[in-house]
């Protein structure tokens, strides 16, 4: 009876663990799992290194507690982005580089290093440009996967939403710090630092 079911079998033999039907589905819809996988490694390499660099940038915002608080939200949400997408790399037949230096070197964005003159203005500009690179990165992933890989597209679009938030935050802060202008982001404090409302995988038992 099961042999009559439309999706009961396919190109992958029963019990074969060397192939993934999830990858075959992407190919059948016109996508290239290998290309998507490699792009994801580059993208989460940037999220991982940005988490590190934002840790340092946040420390140098001592005395600017409002700036530190928002940088902390962005920092922890970038870590959430790495955690969200990392399993997808393996689902697409890939793996993380064994050498963390190789991982950092292939990150899709420049290092968000502490500026030589670490004024709040210069730090905020560094943060802003890092977020803009992240937006471009995840927009590329969305474009690659929109019509062929619903799972990756869902993950990437959730991250994209938060990166757009982050850019708006730092535009607001830099406009005030550098230009003494109001350029509102419409930002409200997250429920908790790094809440990541679009991308964080909350526990099933967590109350709504």
At residue 204, the pLDDT reads 39
CATH class of the structural domain 31-179: mainly alpha
pLDDT digits 0-9 by tens, 19-28: 787 898 999 9
The Cα 61–Cα 49 span in angstroms is 19
Q: What angle do CA 118, 161, 57 make, to 5 degrees?
A: 15
At residue 59, the pLDDT reads 97
Q: 149: pLDDT confidence band, cut at 50, 70 and 90?
A: very high
Ordered by start, the domain boundaries in the chain are 31-179
At residue 208, the pLDDT reads 45
At residue 130, the pLDDT reads 98
Q: Which of 126, 101, 88 is nearest to 45 (CA)?
A: 101
At residue 192, the pLDDT reads 80
């Amino acid at each position: 009876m099961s042999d009559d079911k439309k999706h009961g079998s396919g190109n992958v033999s029963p019990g074969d663990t060397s192939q993934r039907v999830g990858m075959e589905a992407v190919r059948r819809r016109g996508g290239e799992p290998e290309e998507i996988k490699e792009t994801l490694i580059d993208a989460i390499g940037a999220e991982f290194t940005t988490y590190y660099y934002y840790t340092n940038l946040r420390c140098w915002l001592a005395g600017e507690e409002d700036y530190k608080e928002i940088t902390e939200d962005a920092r922890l949400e970038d870590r959430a982005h790495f955690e969200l997408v990392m399993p997808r790399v393996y689902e697409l037949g890939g793996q993380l580089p064994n050498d963390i230096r190789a991982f950092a070197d292939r990150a899709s964005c420049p290092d968000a290093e502490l500026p030589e003159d670490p004024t709040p203005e210069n730090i905020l500009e560094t943060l802003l440009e890092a977020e803009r690179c992240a937006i471009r990165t995840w927009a590329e992933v969305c474009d690659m996967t929109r019509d062929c890989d619903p799972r990756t597209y869902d993950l990437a679009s959730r991250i994209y939403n938060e990166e757009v938030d982050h850019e708006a935050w730092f535009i607001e802060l830099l406009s005030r710090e550098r230009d003494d202008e109001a350029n509102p982001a419409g930002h409200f404090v997250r429920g908790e630092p790094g809440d990541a409302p679009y991308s964080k995988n909350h526990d099933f038992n967590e109350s709504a």
